[in-house]
Structure 1
Amino acid sequence: MNRPQYILLPVSPLFIAFSMLCAVLLNMLPWGRFIAAPDFVALTLVFWGVHQPRKVGIGTAFCLGLLMDVHDASLLGENALAYTLLSYFAIMLHRRILWFKVTTQILHVLPLLLLAQTVQMVVRLLVSGKFPGWFFFVESVVAALLWPLATMLLLAPQRRAVDKDHTRPI
């Protein structure tokens, strides 16, 4: 059977801000260093960079990166640089990514998230000289696997009803 083609409503800037705030709060939770907690801010930046490139851009990514730098007590600009590059490449590839199904989009999102983590690792390696290990990159894999869930949650307020209701104007 063919899946219904949804016509999405315009996204509210308040919903974008709310989703970014939720991502920052999820990143600030004390997950511990024993589990591979994904970078929710990076995942949300990729999502909005792909779906709404005119509303969430490089400036937003830079500001959120500075906020996460302060929270993580890392080098000032480490996350900002990674998120800026992540947002740039997500915006650059947004038309290509949207052509694919959500499950196939994971193959496009994973290299973007790996690139951001590689930038963070290189900055840490240049400053401290310590290699964090290959387990460091599991966060990107977990975040990429969360892509379908993030797509479902963040597009839910924009979906129109499949069954047309004649009492509603839209």
Structure 2
Amino acid sequence: MIMRPGQQLLLPANPVFIWFTLLGALSINMFLNMGLWGRAAWVPDLLAVVLVFWSVHQPLRIGVGVAFAFGLAMDVHQGALLGQHALAYTVLGFFAISMHRRLLWFAVPTQAVQVLPLFVSAHVLLMLVRLISGGVFPGWSYFLAPVLEAALWPVVSVLLLAPQRRAPNPDDNRPL
């Protein structure tokens, strides 16, 4: 693969670290839903951000099936319509995998702009399923969540790629 100038060569991602971050994001989501804000509409879905991140960076390890399973876990936790988050996360995973090669050519801030439509479409899909099943419109603050998720993309990118950036055997005389 041809790399962009200035792009750092990364070590392979540890599967244990990938699963730890996904389970950690699920735990944080569950905590945020029970915490101070309750189920506030504007709270970003950290699990969706981490799922999209790993679907972009490790599409052979984290795919649509993993997104579906985590979506079911979120449905059960929130007491939502079973399959609501599973559908949204599956769509997120599919589109993240389909655009992963193109997305990795851009800098991280540009990536955040390009994943914003993914997050908006997932939230619109969640809202449509909720409205079709007899729910109420959550308000316009609901559309603040995808913007916050896209704003979290650079932070998540730095944090989740940090273990891959270290040199396996650091040496002052070796440029890699």
Q: TM-score when scaled to structure 1? A: 0.91
Structure 2 vs 1, CA of residues 115 and 31 (structure 1 numbering), >3 Å: closer, same or farther?
farther
CA distance in 2, matches of 1:135, 1:75: 21
Give the conservation status (yes or no) of the 8 Å contact 1:113–1:144.
Answer: yes
Amino acid at match of 1:25: S
Decide whether the 8 Å contact of 1:43 with 1:147 is kept in 2: yes
Aligned partners of 1:50 and 1:91 also within 8 Å? yes
- CA–CA distance in structure 2, aligned partners of residues 34 and 17 of structure 1: 27
Amino acid at match of 2:157: T
Q: Does 1:54 align with 2:60?
A: yes
In structure 2, relative to structure 1, the CA distance for the partners of 1:73 and 1:35 (3 Å cut) is closer
Equivalent residue, structure 1, for 2:29: 27
Change (3 A) 1:42 1:34: closer
Show structure 2 runs of 5+ residues with no match.
Answer: none
Matched, 1:85 2:91: yes
Deviation digits for residues 116-160 of structure 1 (CA, Å, limit 9, x no counterpart): 111100000101152212211111110110100000000000013
User: Cα distance 1:23–1:91, how it changes in 2: closer, same or farther (>3 A)?
Assistant: same
Tell me the percent identity: 52
Is contact 1:23–1:41 with CA below 8 Å preserved after alignment? Answer: yes
Distance in 1 between residues matched to 2:108 and 2:6, nearest whole Å: 14
Matched residue type, 1:146:
L
Q: Match for residue 157 of structure 1?
A: 163
Select the residue among 123, 126, 129 that pairs with 1:123. Answer: 129
Alpha-carbon distance in 2 for matches of 1:154, 1:142: 18
Which one of the candidate residues 97, 106, 115 is aligned to 2:112?
106
Q: Which amino acid aligns with 1:67?
A: A
- Which ranges in structure 1 are unaligned for 5 or more consecutive residues? none
Cα distance per residue 1:81-128 (max 9 Å; x no partner): 000000000000001111110001111111001111111000001011
The size of the alignment, in residue pairs, is: 166
Alpha-carbon RMSD? 2.1
Task: Indicate the SS of the match to 2:96.
Answer: helix
Question: Contact 1:7–1:160 (CA<8 Å) still a contact in 2?
Answer: no
The 3 A distance-change label for structure 1 pair 166 and 129 is closer
If the length of structure 2 is used for normalisation, what is the TM-score? 0.88
